[in-house]
Amino acid sequence: MADHSITRYLADQHGDADPAETAEWRDAFLALVAAEGPVRARFMLDQLATLARDPHVGWSPELVTPYVNTVPVEKQPVFPGDLAIEEKLASLMRWNALAMVVRANTAYGELGGHIASYASAADLFEVGFNHFFRARSAEQGDLVFFQPHSAPGVYARAFLEGRLSENDLAHYRQEIGAPAQDARGLSSYPHPWLMPDFWQFPTGSMGIGPISSIYHARFMRYLTHRNVLDCEGRKVWGVFGDGEMDEPESMSALTLASREKLDNLVWVVNCNLQRLDGPVRGNGRIVDELEKLFRGAGWNVIKLLWGSDWDGLFARDTTNALVQAFAHTVDGQMQTFAAKDGRFNRDNFFGQNEALARLAQGMTDEQIDRLKRGGHDLVKIHAAYDAAAKHRGQPTVILAHTKKGYGMGSAGQGRMTTHSQKKLDESALLEFRNRFNLPITDEQAKDLAFFRPAEDSAEMRYLHARREALGGYVPQRQTQCEVVPVPDAASYAQFALQAAGKEMSTTMAFVRLLGTLLKDPQLGPRIVPIVADEARTFGMANLFKQVGIYSSAGQSYEPEDIGSVLSYREALDGQILEEGISEAGAIASWTAAATSYSVHGVAMLPFYIYYSMFGFQRVGDAIWAAADQRARGFLLGATSGRTTLGGEGLQHQDGSSHLVAATIPNCKAYDPAFAGEMAVIVDQGMREMLVEQRDVFYYVTLMNENYAQPDLPEGAREGVIRGAYRFARYGDETARQRVTLLGSGAILTEVVKAAQQLAADGIPVDVVSVTSWSELAREGVECERAALEGGEARTPYIAQVLAGNGPVIAASDYVRAVPETIRAYVPQGRRYLTLGTDGFGRSDTRAALRAFFGVDAASVVKAASFALSSRA
């Protein structure tokens, strides 16, 4: 559409009191563009905009542009590929994806799957695969986040590439039964845990992919600026759905991307106008809404709306009839146009007025039906991707207009039910075959036969050549990285291991330990300290000067506390990632660092410290996604427990994070009471993740309460790691029946006080420090499983620790369900009572809170006395 047509349209839309004067301004501006070029034109517009922002004028620019392509025909680059072959390949991908889903549901109706999303996005994917998505090689290559519901299309491409077999495709969503059939089960969505050599990023929980892609792009800049790894020239591509943009995580970090000038980031939003049940914005236009949102957030916006067939119509449209019609067509109506045939569109779209009717003259109903939206035209898609890849200074979003269920005809195209469409009858299959001119017979179509051209065919040679030119196949997950040496614990944690009764909190002990680790010449540069916005709260201000806070802009101001030893310092090579008040952003940064070993081939070690209540409860979905991505790193839940953060009250007091952490298979959760225990856990975690390179991550809770820190007992290391060890004995050493008190974290000090009181009353007591309830429970489950499967009978470790007689009392600062997880492994005959902090938190002193919840020393003594009485 010509520039002068757009300006006339805008003038018509807003009313014009003096058309002659408007024409003079318009002609003057067009003359400036013609004579001086777009750079000068933009400068003049900026000058006028500055004047117009005067309060007396009260003007600000409209963020929504006309409903046309951003890249005009005259600026489209020459399409670099073989268009005919690429269209044929895209059609084959569509067919094999459809056949895979329909076959699975024909055989097993419960398996589910999606056809329509990939049908709309297939061309968006294929242009990326053929021309833009570079594989990782020599520590280079792009990161690609795939729309989860389009996973069948990625499998279909991998089948043509020879990376998946026909048998594999026949076992879509059958991961358990597939190996018995000598096949690979294909996961429902991108899952690195389930397909560890294939998928790189989990995106199945919608909204997680978009925010993760932003922080991965920013982490690449972080690696470059800190001279860890040169990531210049690499891109992060994300293909997401328009309905997915409703998720708060999708939108929450847009301004970070623009503030950081992440021009290595490109989003492609597949605007097929439909969510799961119906239109995304039935009474509005989602493309307009997203354009306004992204432009306002500082992104470069490229609208990819209409295919090449429309170019001639726009060229003939001298009265702006098309643009005006689009401006008044809401998405609900656009969806109806997608679902209907050419005759309907002739009557109901082009039949709206004479100008539109004249444009459609000479076109058959079939030609009208075949008019493509921009997201289905390879040439237009390439032009948009090319413009996005070359743009500098901003992240780019491509708003691609497509039809959901494209090509599914009456069986699903644009229909309300299309998202859940999993079965097609024979006529629908033949219609699909004909629509894309597939080289398969009627019988093959009805039988849902997979189709792969001969290896020496032009299509297959082209397919492999394009991927070879881009460095290999994607998606593909790699795990090779060098071992990072971990220093001996005595070199950085001796103060904690031999604390000699010094008073400190485990939070302060951790910060001191971290500060020393950062100085290690080999490990130090690989550490990524992360906070949401509580560095000073956690005593980390001393790290500001030591390693600095990462800022892509450096520090262009003089902080007011510049004379302080704890002054705030930002730097281009800063090491701390301080993410502001955004736990979702901080966990996304942690995930980017924790998976760097796989994404970039460079192992990094992130330590993310936060209020424990704001972890698993607030961003548990993102933590689960990190687990799926096989993250390696530390999550530190500070001010943990329900009674340690006395004055803050209900929403800050954590009583459940260890319960949730226990549900994540590769998360090792620990609740150490003492600095020495914490040091052993951190040391073990570093060795497990950096040296042994195991795909686990650690959750360690820390307290802000100062109390005397004992030396770590000799020989306790194994017990600390396994989950429990005997901390002390009180009273008669020879007594056969003893009370055993289990305690963890903040409540262990109360348990010790209770033990001392019981011993003073003549009752012998053993105190066991439980460092991990979940590790004890998991080991017990494994022993049970081995026995059930006829393996070697083993006594659970906690049962060995609790061997003896007498009651067992367990107390923690968490809900009772946490210590209840080991009940099955307490030796028979020993009465087991659990104390916890069930219910809502509240504000008061620690002493009052512990008495209220029944986890203080007096409550432990009371429970022990009850267990010893005849009433128990």
Alpha-carbon distance 729 to 562, whole Å? 52
Is 191 within 8 Å of 628 (Cβ atoms)?
yes
Query: What CA dihedral angle connects 490, 496, 498 and 502, to 10 degrees?
Result: 150
Q: Cis omega before residue 77 (within 30°)?
A: no
Neighbours of 425 (CB within 10 A): 10
The angle subtended at Cα 39 by Cα 33 and Cα 44, nearest 5°, is 75
Task: Specify whether the CB–CB gap between 528 and 577 falls below 8 A.
Answer: yes
| pLDDT digits 0-9 by tens, 41-58 | 989 988 888 888 887 888
Over residues 77-103, the mean pLDDT reads: 94
Closest CA to 622 of 89, 212, 41, 254: 212
- pLDDT band at residue 1 using 50, 70 and 90 as cut-offs: very low
pLDDT of residue 809: 98
Q: Has residue 275 got a pLDDT over 60?
A: yes
User: Given this model, what pLDDT does residue 410 score?
Assistant: 67
pLDDT band at 278; cut points 50, 70, 90: confident
Nearest alpha carbon to residue 669 among 589, 745, 728: 745
Cβ pair 365, 236 in contact under 8 A: no
- In Å, what is the CA distance from 187 to each residue of 155, 196, 577? 10, 11, 34
Which residues are CB-contacts of 448 (< 8 A; sequence separation ≥ 6)?
A: 99, 102, 103, 106, 429
CA angle 679, 682, 687 (to 5 degrees): 125
pLDDT at 412: 56
Going by pLDDT thresholds of 50, 70 and 90, the confidence category of residue 422 is: low
Judge whether residue 12 has pLDDT over 90: no
- Averaged pLDDT for residues 823-833: 96
- pLDDT at residue number 417: 61
Strands (E), 83-207: 143-145
Range from 10-14, 156-160, 760-764 carrying the lowest mean pLDDT: 10-14
Helix or strand (DSSP H, E) at 732: none
What is the per-residue pLDDT for 303?
98
How far apart CA 868 and CA 861 sit, in angstroms, is 11
- Tens of pLDDT, residue by residue over 651-705, are 889 999 999 999 999 999 999 999 999 999 999 999 999 999 999 999 999 999 9
What's the pLDDT score for residue 57?
82
What are the pLDDT digits (tens) for 484-525? 999 999 999 999 999 999 999 999 999 999 999 999 999 999
How far is residue 136 from each of residues 142, 164, 268, 600, 601, measured CA to CA in Å? Answer: 7, 20, 21, 8, 9
Rounded CA separation 11/131 (Å): 40
Average pLDDT, the chain: 93
Give SS3 for 805. Answer: strand
Kindly write down the DSSP assignment for every residue of 659-696, as one continuous string. HHHTTSTTEEEE--SSHHHHHHHHHHHHIIIIIS--S-
Helices (H) and strands (E) in the chain, counts: 36, 20
Can you tell me the distance from the alpha carbon of 321 to that of 327, in angstroms, rounded to the nearest whole number?
A: 10
The per-residue b/e assignment along 462-478, b for 16 or more CB within 10 angstroms, e otherwise, is bbeebbeebbebbbebb
Phi, psi of 344, deg, nearest 5 = -60, -45
- Taking CA atoms, 714 is separated from 497, 682, 717, in Å, by 10, 18, 8
Q: Are 219 and 592 a contacting pair, CB within 8 Å?
A: yes
User: What residue type is assigned to position 35 of the chain?
Assistant: A
What is the distance between the alpha carbons of residues 511 and 495, in angstroms, rounded to a whole number? Answer: 12
In the chain the first and final C-alpha atoms are separated, in Å, by: 85
Q: 119 with 87: CB under 8 angstroms?
A: no
Q: What is the pLDDT of residue 2?
A: 45
Reference 400, options 99, 126, 142, 212; nearest CA is 126
Task: Say if residues 192 and 202 touch (Cβ distance below 8 Å).
Answer: yes
Tokens of 628: 């799926």
Contact 659, 815 (CB under 8 A): yes
Contact present, 837 and 643 (Cβ < 8 Å): yes
Give alpha helix (H) positions in 274-377. Answer: 286-296, 309-316, 321-327, 331-339, 342-348, 354-360, 365-369
Exposure letters 565-591 (e unless 16+ CB within 10 A, then b): eeebbbbbebbbbbbeebbbbbbbbbb
Between these two residues, 235 and 793, which has the higher pLDDT value? Answer: 235
Contact 231, 600 (CB under 8 A): yes
Question: How far is 529 from 222, CA to CA, in rounded Å?
Answer: 12
Alpha carbons 854 and 833: distance in angstroms, whole number:
12
Q: Token digits for 411?
A: 């069986």
DSSP string, 770-795: ES-HHHHHHHHHHHHHHHHTT-----
State which amino acid sits at residue 104.
A
Cα four-point dihedral sign 165, 169, 175, 181: negative
The mean per-residue pLDDT over the stretch 536-555 comes to 92
Complete DSSP assignment for 85-109? HHHHHHHHHHHHHHHHHHHHHHH-T
User: Higher pLDDT residue, 851 or 119?
Assistant: 851
Higher pLDDT, 496 or 106: 496
Give pLDDT tens digits for 740-793: 999 999 999 999 999 999 999 999 999 999 999 999 999 999 999 999 998 888
Q: How far apart are CA 675 and CA 672, in angstroms?
A: 8
Q: pLDDT for 432-476, tens place per residue?
A: 898 889 999 999 999 999 999 999 999 999 999 999 999 999 999
Dihedral sign of CA atoms 396, 402, 407, 408 in order? positive
**Token pair 């932003």 in the structure block, residue:** 214
* 172-176 contacts, C-beta under 8 A, 24 or more apart: 172/100, 172/101, 172/103, 172/104, 172/111, 172/113, 173/104, 173/111, 173/112, 173/113, 174/104, 174/108, 174/111
Quote the pLDDT of residue 649: 85
Q: How far is CA 142 from CA 476, 565, 599, 602, in A?
A: 11, 41, 9, 15
- Max CA separation in the chain (angstroms): 108
